[in-house]
Structures are given as C-alpha cells and as structure tokens.
Amino acid sequence: MKIAYLGTSAAEGIPALFCHCDVCKYARKYKGKNIRTRSQVLIDDTILIDFGPDTYMHSLQYDISLADIYHCLITHTHDDHLYLEDLRARRRSRANLDLGTPTLTVYGGRGVKKVLKPDDNGFVTKDKSIFYQPVYDYSPFYIEDKYEIIPISSIHNTTNPLVYVIRKDDSVFLYAHDTDVLSEESLLYLNLNNIRFDAISLDCTEGIKHIDYPGHMNFERMKIMCDLMRKYNLIDLNTKIIANHFSHNGLISYDDAVIKGNELGYIISYDGMILNI
C-alpha cells in the first residue's frame, strides 16, 4: 500500500495565513519541509482521505487528475477536511468529464450527510456526478473489492467524527487525525477483530504544547495512545508510527519535530512524503 501525504497541517497551515509566531517565522525563512498545507492523503492513487481547501493545489503539485479519483473518505465536517465549494466543482456544469467517467463516491458519517444534503437516492448533485455513501462506526465496508475500510468513532467537536482503518491484503493502516486518544471501546473492538497495524498515522496538532482540552493530541498524548495500542496488541516494534496534522500553535517546526520524533521513535510527516507498507 502506498500512502502519499499531500498535506500535513492543521486548519491554519504552516506558516499560518496571519501570524507572527516563531514557528511561522521559521517556516517562512527556511521553507522546505517546514511548509505545511492542510492535511490530506492519497492511498494507492485511488482513495483520497478528506477534501480540504488545498486539494486543488495538491492536484497541481503532485500531478493528480482529480477527475480520475472515484473514492473519497471524509473524517469529519470541519472545512479544512471537507471544503464543499471545491467538491461541487465536479458538477458537469463546471467539469467536462469524459463520457462514462464514474461517479465520485464520498464516504462519511451523519455529519457529512448533513453538509452534502444528498437526495433520497444518495446523489449530491442533480447530474449524479457525486454520490454520498453513509458509513457507520465499527461497520466495515469495501472499496473496489480490495480495500477493507473500518470507520472508528473518534473524539472531536463535530457530529459523528471518524478515523479509518484501511486494509489491503496483508497491509493495515490507521489514519487517526482530529481526534483525542481513542476510547478503550474502540481499541477493544480492534483487538477483538485481530487488527494488527503496519503503520499508524496519529494526530499531533499540538506538538510540544501542553493541552487540557479534548479533541486533539500532542506528542504527550501520542505516547499515551501508543502505550494503549501496545496494551491491546494492536502495534509492535515493527509498526511505523507517524506524527501528522501539525498546527503552528503546537510550538514546533518540522526541523525540531524530527529531533523529537527520533527520541520517541516516530516518523514526522511532511508534505509530499510517501509511505509504503
């Protein structure tokens, strides 16, 4: 399984649009991997996860024909993960798709349905160019008969937020962003279903900043999450652990995060990173 990290930041991007903080000043000065766009990944050039406001730029930067992507998993409805105006650009009044081009299927929970407002048949657009497929916590489904997707309830301040387990053949990947440490109910479910991860991508929005509020993680909470996953036999020494979805408010640049990641045994994501598992 090839996992392409198209964007790796939280909602503001790094550097943030209007900011004088040290992290943003550093990113503007040194650029490179310190520059982060809003989080999005592409699995095997086939499945997008999230459709944020930087999707168009990602398509240009990484030579992705969005017209040829037919599956998009949405984690939750905050607009850095579901930017509806650009998604609507697939309507045939705006897009001249080749005859026979498949419909784009957008998968998500109850909150996503409220935003997309599909008709009774599930179509988001009158021309049937976009289809909404409801998904449910702990209810596996398949994409193209080779990707098993398991939505897992996450902890975030929005309606029915989800993280996703993606399994292809013997490769198993967890994409868990905009969430706090997963509940023991979720971890027990994964344990009872004999899920063993080759790679886990965890929220690190708050970096080295101490936080008391729920809904995001930092390096401290990532460690708690990893310890719990070891307790439930979900990861082992061979599992790749990726810290991702960084905010400038987390008080750490990419360059400094790599030093921290080396101490903890984590891979620090960056825009354009390719992970093969």
Other C-beta atoms lying within 10 Å of the C-beta of residue 274: 9
d(CA 70, CA 79): 20
Q: CB-side exposure of 168: number of CA atoms within 13 Å?
A: 15
Q: What pLDDT, on a 0 to 100 scale, did the predictor assign at position 196? A: 99
Tell me the C-alpha to C-alpha distance, in Å, between residue 134 and each of 88, 172, 252.
18, 22, 37
Q: Which residues pair with 71 in a beta bridge?
A: 47, 105
pTM of the model: 0.97
**What pLDDT, in 10s, does the model give residues 179-233?**
999 999 999 999 999 999 999 999 999 999 999 999 999 999 999 999 999 999 9
274, β-bridge pairs = 4
**H or E segment to which residue 202 belongs:** strand 199-203
Residue 122 has pLDDT above 90, yes or no: yes
- Domain extent, residue 156, equals 2-276
Q: Confidence class of residue 92 from pLDDT cuts 50, 70 and 90?
A: confident
Q: Mean pLDDT over residues 270-275, rounded?
A: 99
Structural domain count, the chain: 1
Residue 268 confidence (pLDDT) above 90: yes
The band of 79, judged by pLDDT with boundaries at 50, 70 and 90, is: very high
CATH number for the domain that contains residue 85:
3.60.15.10
